[in-house]
Structure 1
Amino acid sequence: MKIDLSGKSALVTGSAAGIGFAIAKGLHEAGARVVVNGRTADSVATAVSRLGGSASGRDIDLSTPEGVAELVAAEPAFDIVVSNLGIFQPADFFEADDALWERHWQINVMAGVRLARAYLPPMKDRGWGRFLFLGSESGYNIPADMIHYGVSKTADVALARGLAKRMAGTGVTVNSILPGPTLSEGVKEMLKDEIAGGKTLEQAGIDFVKAHRPSSIIGRPATVEEVANMAVYIASPLSSATTGAALRVDGGVVEFIV
């Protein structure tokens, strides 16, 4: 199996680091012209430099309608869009105020809604396209300490399913990818106290999975590259029969078989 994305253009949001950067790197290595997105010029410039070649970047905050409009004006069409931008912040339900819910909703859900509204019609006109939403196993296993986050990720899965139906017969597929615990920069920050106490990142990750995701079959967090591998395949012409799917890269955390 050879994935060749030569001649394809791709946008990966929130891709200056973490899973987003790994996906951008995978698409770039498969031959796509990749646009990296992040909030700061320095982080985007660093990511573009790491990719090299035809990669370029847009340092635009996509958490607002104005930010998405600015991006679309600068980059009006893509063959592949990966709506990866997202945040998570542990907070007890009774302490999570409206502002926290709204921030997660705007970044985790509405940014993808606005990107889809802008970029799916040109894909339809060309008769080919791939749109991917980064969900999470937390969209199924709603975490008690981040109910607001879990709800936003359930919404991403539902959005992808509905848009796949809306784009039926156009040559455009829409899917969601559901990572489990993954050794990204965000998780590294979450585990910083354990690392400061002498654990390696890998061991801290394993201990977290055993304590908080005991149903994991692999018994460890995924790497960002393992998540990116799924994304690159789904972004390719080889995945033409896969649409409306919630594709798990969760290490077997979710306790059902479909």
Structure 2
Amino acid sequence: MKIDLTGRKAVVTGSTAGIGRAIAEGLALAGAAVVINGRTEERVASALRELRAKFPDAEFVGVTADLATPEGSAVLVAQVPDADILVNNVGTAHLNNFFDQSDDEWLDLFQLNVMSGVRAARHYVPKMVARGRGRVVFISSESGLNIPKEMIDYGVTKTAMLGVSRGLAELVAGTGVTVNAVLPGPTNSEILSNWMQGTAREQGITQDQAEQQFLETQRPTTLIKRFATTEEVANMVVYVCSDQASATTGAALRVDGGVVRSIA
């Protein structure tokens, strides 16, 4: 299978590092022009330098915008008014105690993890429908199905993304636009890797040992018995953004290493 996205423009939110960065790289390798996004000029500029050095024949544009706010979302769509592919990846997670969290902390996370994608889809999808072609991907998580007790708010936002993704797919049925969600499991992303590095330092163990400890205690149902790579997640996203995936829509596609114990 050869995926060719030449002539397509892709917007990947939260893409200066981690899963978003791997997705941006995968789409560029397939020929797409890629818009990367981050919250600070420094992060965006650094990512652009690295991407352009690594892929000199690819086209990259950077947009600095905090998509947790309506104002930041407006900056993105003003600078990039149209796209063929939208990957709603931006998001974060924080270990916390449910009983100590404030309303504002819940709402702040919802704004970033959910409303950023709602706003982007609200802008880009009607134009895709008018063209009769488009791809939208929401990066959810296996935590949207297995709500983690140590970050219930995160799990709830990822469940919400599944609802938005499926509902939007129903809304644009028959238009040539597909909408899917991708659900990574434990992945060597920037956030989780930083957590594992911190755990390793605190306990005087290696990062690999910290990861294995996390899997054994927090995700014992994993079938691959390791963290996924960001590239493995990106491979699924690149596929669902392709012409070859034209019959895949309204789906929740797991790249979770088998963590979710389900046959459907």
Same fold at TM > 0.5: yes
The answer to whether 1:166 aligns with 2:171 is yes
The answer to whether 1:194 aligns with 2:191 is no
SS in 1 for 2:120: helix
Which residue matches 2:105? 100
Deviations 1:163-184 (A, max 9, x none): 0000101100000000001011
CA distance in 1, matches of 2:209, 2:175: 46
The answer to whether 1:233 aligns with 2:253 is no
Kindly tell me the number of residue pairs found equivalent between the two proteins: 258
Could you tell me whether the CA contact under 8 Å between 1:109 and 1:155 is conserved in 2?
A: yes
Could you tell me whether the CA contact under 8 Å between 1:173 and 1:240 is conserved in 2?
A: yes
SS in 1 for 2:109: helix
Which residue matches 1:3? 3
Unaligned runs of 5+ in 1: none
The answer to whether 1:131 aligns with 2:131 is no
Unaligned runs of 5+ in 2: 53-57
Deviation for aligned residue 1:198: 4.5
CA distance in 2, matches of 1:74, 1:131: 19
The answer to whether 1:20 aligns with 2:20 is yes
Which residue matches 2:228? 222
Identify which of 147, 151, 162 aligns with 1:157.
162
CA distance in 1, matches of 2:205, 2:127: 49
Which residue matches 2:37? 37
SS in 2 for 1:191: helix
CA distance in 2, matches of 1:139, 1:192: 24
The answer to whether 1:254 aligns with 2:260 is yes
CA distance in 2, matches of 1:140, 1:8: 32
Which residue matches 2:46? 46
Question: With structure 2 as the length reference, what TM-score do the two structures score?
Answer: 0.95
Deviation for aligned residue 1:5: 0.5
Could you tell me whether the CA contact under 8 Å between 1:218 and 1:252 is conserved in 2?
A: yes
CA distance in 1, matches of 2:199, 2:79: 42
Deviation for aligned residue 1:146: 0.8
The answer to whether 1:84 aligns with 2:89 is yes
The answer to whether 1:59 aligns with 2:89 is no
Question: With structure 1 as the length reference, what TM-score do the two structures score?
Answer: 0.97
SS in 2 for 1:175: strand
SS in 2 for 1:115: helix
SS in 2 for 1:248: strand
SS in 2 for 1:146: helix
Deviations 1:66-94 (A, max 9, x none): 11111111111100000000010111211
Which residue matches 1:145? 150
The answer to whether 1:242 aligns with 2:248 is yes
